[in-house]
Amino acid sequence: MKNKVMKYLAIILSVVLVDQITKGILLYLITGTVPLMGPAWEVVPVPYLMTQVCNFFNIVFTWNPGASFSMLRAVGEAAPIIIILATGFIIGFIGYYLFKHSHSYERLPLALIVGGALGNLIDRIRFGAVVDFLDFHIGGWHWPAFNVADVCIVVGVGLFVLNWYLARRRCLETVKSKGGK
């Protein structure tokens, strides 16, 4: 059991480290330093286009003081506190479930979700906003900028739903093969 816990803690830590390192590199490239704390928008203006990688992908630098895809911006000054508390609660709940009650097929997706959420929570605590920098677009239609933590959360949720569906399907097939309904 201890090896399983260490394995998933390592995944969570790896996600957080890759996320924070990529954000730190971008902050360094723009400002020449990596600020440790403080209001983010005082350090780097919003938005800051760094470079076009290809005709559908840019690396930009933007701050997201709201929730996913800039939701909750309208809540006002209370939004950062609400988001930090809610995120901390959700991370705690998912982490508890991951290490105490999860099935083997749920663990990797949950570790990715926890790692991504922690990466963004660190930004919120440090800066009051999340660093986003991956910008995919088709012509003038841009998907909202996102980061490595967001990718891990989305992949984790997708794997969780897929694994849940496949496990449910196997369970139903087993019941049918035994003559059940």
What is the reported pTM?
0.85
Give the model confidence (pLDDT) of 108-136 as tens digits. Answer: 999 999 999 999 999 999 888 899 999 99
By annotation, the residues acting in catalysis are 132, 150
Full 3-state SS string of 34-90: CCCCCCHHHCCCCCEEEEEEECCEEEEEEEECCCHHHCCHHHHHHHHHHHHHHHHHH
pLDDT, tens digit (0-9, with 9 covering 90-100), for 138-171: 988 988 899 999 999 999 999 999 999 999 888 8
